Structure formats: structure tokens, C-alpha cells
């Protein structure tokens, strides 16, 4: 891979330990994937933030990097293992909180904005169409490539951090236009009514498209929250972090509809629900906000929870970014949700918080949330925001 003089000097270690290590990672990646050079990135989103996943070895590595590593571009963080303020109320132990705070401190020292969210595009890390970025959380990567039209590979935590320290990433994969061409037409012949239907659609397309880039036809209208949910699901159950929806996502007008096609019928959506949902009626945890809730979703939760009470045997979490929660505070939604007995889980998420063994069942709007909750040994139910709020109020899934 061609390196400029400045990049060579970074690789030699002239700009310090962290930049040297980062260059080593980027050059190794570039050589493996056949990149011919590094390109500048406009922003970075770093995953690998939860102490639950990092452990002491990961924390020690971050602290080492934080000694001289400083980010060169706008960099934000993926969810951590706990709400950084409200962790006690969510049942996180003192020991875990102490370690998680050290992780955050290390990232803060690096100059990263420690707003921990998988929806960085809702809090000011919003790339422009065509911009090269280095993001790592799969739903955010898919949203960025597809809905925004920015260009990013699905980075790992270390390679994203390396891109942040160098301000560049190897030029391969989805940074190249030739790798962004759709190659399967997905004809949606089903009615999709609510948020979770788009999670179910992501499940079906992810599985059926296999290694191909979907060009989706048959969807007339879809709002941002549904695209957010679909982006999370299609990449969880499939492999390509990019898709096109005709006349809706940018770039769809550039391409011809691929010849090969797959038709999605209502029965496929129904079948997806039956795969995602377990047989369970008592719900111990309701978690809405995978990916993190937008202010519009929070407004809907507040409207549905007004003058109601969460069942005493059920925890009800609204997962969101801290910035969105601040907006919710101002709008009065937080007060309504908390008065009903709901809790905000900012900075964290149902996949990376240490939830294993705490809850036997979860209800959520998210297909991706169900996928990871099963890893945490929970029985899962996916449905609309209303169904989830009802489950919170009654403690049961109906």
C-alpha cells in the first residue's frame, strides 16, 4: 500500500506510540484487503466501549493508548455497559461502574465525545452524502451507507480507533463505488404497518439476500425510525451493511434494478415473527430503543404511558442517547415516563449491558434486540411500541 511521507513517519513512530500502533493496524488491514492507499475520513464511531466486553485487558490497552493518543476527527462512542449517570437505578454493581468509568475516562482523554450511542447521526455526528467515514457499530454503519449515502466499512473497535488517531482509513470495500452496486432485487409484496414490521423485514431480507446487496422495491413510504430499525435488523441477520430502497434512499436512482429477484410476501413477515418470538407470556423486562430511541419514539412512549403505571414485576427501559434524553426532559416526556415507573437507560443498550441472569424474558420493538437477548439467555417477544408499552403495564405479552 502506498504511504505518503507523513504516513511513513507516523508508522516509524515519530508521532508517538498510539499513532504508530494505529498505523500498524491500518497498514495491516490495507494489505490484507488490497487497499492501494489510505483516505481521509470525516468522522469516526468507535465500538468496544462496554467493560462487560472489554474486561481488564481491554481497559489496560485503552489506558495505554490514552497516554498519547488524540483523535484527529470528530469521534463518538457506541453504547457503554451502563447508563453513566443512572446506573445504580438500573441495577449495575459498584465494581462494574468503577471499571466502566475508567473506560470512559480513557476515551475522554483521547478527545472522543463520550456520548455513547448507536445513533450518532441523531446527535451531531452526521456525515454528508458520499463522505468517507470509519464507523463500527453495525446498525449505524448500515444506516450511514444506505440512508445517508456516506461510505464506510464495518470497522472493528481497534480499527475505528486507529482511523480516529490517524484521521484516515484504508481505501477498500465499501469505500469503493464498484463494491456498492446492488445485485439482488427484493420485491416487497407485504404490508408493513409498524416499527417492528421493519425489523421482521430486515430479518427476512438479511437471510434471503445472503451475501448480496439488496435493491428493495415495493416500499412506498418509510420514516426514519423504521429505516433505523430496518438497518439494525438487515445486517444482524444478513451480511452486507448496505441496501437501497427505490425512490427513498439516496443512490437508488443511480442503479438499474438488478435482474435477479426475490419476492417477500406477507407470509414471510409472519414467519419472521414466529422465528423471533418465543413462547412466553410473563415479561420481566421491556426495552425500547434498539437502535437508540429518537425523540419521536420517546414522544410516542410518553403518550402511551400517560396516566398509566408499569407493572411492579416488570422493568421498563427506554434506551437512548443522553442528548436525546435531554430533549425529552425539556419536552416533559421524561417526567411522564418516570412517573409511570419507566426508566431511562442512556449511554447503554440491551446487548452490551451485563443483563445475563437478571431477566428471563424481554419484550422489545427490535429484531436485533431479540437476537442479542437470546445470547443473554432471555426469551424474547418483538412487537410495536404499543404492544411493548402494554407489556410493561400488564407484565404480560398478549
By the criterion CB under 6 A, which residues form the site for ligand F3S?
78-79, 118, 137, 139, 232, 290-292, 319, 349, 351, 368-369, 372
**For residue 211, how many other CB atoms are within 10 A of its CB?**
9
Cell of 190: 407485504
Residue count of the chain, please give it: 398
Least distance (Å) between residue 375 CB and ligand F3S: 10
CA distance 200 to 246: 19
Q: Which is nearer to ligand F3S, 30 or 392 (CB)?
A: 392
The H or E element containing residue 10 is helix 5-12
Least distance (Å) between residue 52 CB and ligand F3S: 12
Nearby residues of 362 by Cβ (< 8 Å), 6 or more positions away: 283, 284, 285, 286, 287, 350, 369, 370, 373, 378, 379, 380, 381
Q: Which is nearer to ligand F3S, 80 or 391 (CB)?
A: 80
Cell of 177: 463505488
The CA-CA-CA angle for residues 103, 322, 356, to 5°, reads 60
Assign 252 to helix, strand or coil.
helix
Least distance (Å) between residue 236 CB and ligand F3S: 8
Strand bridging mode 315-320 / 285-293? parallel
**Cis before residue 74, ω within 30 degrees of 0?**
no
Least distance (Å) between residue 187 CB and ligand F3S: 27
Q: At what angle do helices 224-237 and 195-209 cross, to 10 degrees?
A: 30
Return the residue matching grid coordinates 435493491.
Answer: 215
Least distance (Å) between residue 308 CB and ligand F3S: 24
Least distance (Å) between residue 15 CB and ligand F3S: 32
Q: Which is nearer to ligand F3S, 290 or 385 (CB)?
A: 290
- The distance of Cα 180 from the centroid of its chain, to the nearest Å, equals 21
Backbone angles phi, psi at 231, to 5 degrees: -60, -40
* Of 78, 36, 74, residue with least CA distance to 347: 78
Q: Which is nearer to ligand F3S, 121 or 172 (CB)?
A: 121
- The distance of Cα 344 from the centroid of its chain, to the nearest Å, equals 18
**Cis before residue 291, ω within 30 degrees of 0?**
yes
Q: Which is nearer to ligand F3S, 71 or 118 (CB)?
A: 118
Q: Which is nearer to ligand F3S, 83 or 137 (CB)?
A: 137
Contact between 48 and 58 under an 8 Å Cβ cutoff? The reply is yes
Residue 381: HSE in the Cβ half-sphere, 13 Å Cα cutoff: 26
Q: Which is nearer to ligand F3S, 19 or 80 (CB)?
A: 80
Q: Which is nearer to ligand F3S, 269 or 345 (CB)?
A: 345
Least distance (Å) between residue 319 CB and ligand F3S: 6
Least distance (Å) between residue 318 CB and ligand F3S: 12
Least distance (Å) between residue 261 CB and ligand F3S: 29
Q: Which is nearer to ligand F3S, 35 or 134 (CB)?
A: 134
Sheet holding 315-320, edge to edge: 343-346, 315-320, 285-293, 361-364, 379-382
Nearby residues of 100 by Cβ (< 8 Å), 6 or more positions away: 50, 51, 80, 81, 82, 84, 87, 92
Q: Which is nearer to ligand F3S, 118 or 216 (CB)?
A: 118
Least distance (Å) between residue 47 CB and ligand F3S: 8
Amino acid at each position: 500500500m502506498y504511504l505518503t511521507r507523513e504516513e511513513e513517519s507516523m508508522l516509524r513512530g515519530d508521532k508517538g506510540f498510539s499513532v504508530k500502533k494505529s498505523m500498524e493496524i491500518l497498514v495491516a488491514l490495507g494489505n490484507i484487503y488490497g487497499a492501494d492507499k489510505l483516505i481521509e475520513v470525516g468522522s469516526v464511531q468507535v465500538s468496544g466501549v462496554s467493560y462487560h466486553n472489554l474486561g481488564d485487558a481491554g481497559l489496560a490497552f485503552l489506558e495505554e493508548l490514552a497516554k498519547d493518543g488524540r483523535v484527529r476527527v470528530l469521534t463518538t462512542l457506541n453504547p457503554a455497559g451502563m447508563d453513566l449517570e443512572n446506573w445504580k437505578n438500573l441495577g449495575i454493581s459498584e465494581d462494574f461502574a468503577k471499571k466502566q468509568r475508567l473506560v470512559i475516562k480513557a476515551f475522554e482523554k483521547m478527545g472522543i465525545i463520550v456520548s455513547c450511542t448507536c445513533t450518532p447521526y441523531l446527535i451531531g455526528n452526521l456525515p454528508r452524502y458520499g463522505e468517507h467515514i470509519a464507523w463500527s457499530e453495525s446498525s449505524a454503519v448500515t444506516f450511514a451507507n444506505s440512508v445517508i449515502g456516506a461510505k464506510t466499512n464495518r470497522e472493528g473497535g481497534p480499527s475505528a480507533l486507529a482511523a480516529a488517531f490517524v484521521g484516515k482509513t484504508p481505501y477498500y470495500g465499501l469505500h469503493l463505488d464498484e463494491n456498492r452496486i446492488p445485485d439482488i432485487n427484493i420485491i416487497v409484496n407485504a404490508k408493513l404497518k409498524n416499527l417492528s414490521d421493519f425489523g421482521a423485514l430486515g430479518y427476512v431480507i438479511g437471510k434471503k439476500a445472503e451475501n448480496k446487496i439488496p435493491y428493495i422495491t415495493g416500499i412506498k413510504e418509510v420514516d426514519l425510525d423504521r429505516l433505523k430499525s430496518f438497518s439494525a435488523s438487515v445486517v444482524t441477520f444478513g451480511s452486507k451493511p448496505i441496501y437501497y430502497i427505490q425512490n427513498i434512499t439516496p443512490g437508488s436512482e443511480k442503479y438499474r434494478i438488478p435482474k435477479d429477484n426475490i419476492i417477500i410476501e406477507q407470509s414471510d413477515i409472519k414467519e419472521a415473527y414466529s422465528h423471533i418470538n418465543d413462547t412466553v407470556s410473563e415479561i420481566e423486562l421491556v426495552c425500547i430503543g434498539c437502535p437508540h430511541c429518537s425523540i419521536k419514539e420517546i414522544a410516542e412512549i410518553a403518550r402511551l404511558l400517560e396516566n398509566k403505571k408499569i407493572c411492579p414485576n416488570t422493568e421498563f427501559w427506554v434506551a437512548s442517547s443522553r442528548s436525546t434524553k435531554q430533549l425529552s426532559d425539556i419536552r416533559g416526556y421524561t417526567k411522564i415516563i418516570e412517573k409511570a415507573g419507566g426508566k431511562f437507560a442512556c449511554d447503554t443498550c440491551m446487548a452490551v449491558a451485563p443483563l445475563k441472569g437478571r431477566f428471563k424474558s424481554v419484550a422489545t420493538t427490535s429484531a436485533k434486540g431479540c437476537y442479542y437477548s437470546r445470547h443473554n439467555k432471555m426469551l424474547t417477544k418483538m412487537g410495536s411500541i404499543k404492544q411493548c408499552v402494554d407489556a410493561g403495564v400488564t407484565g404480560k405479552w398478549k
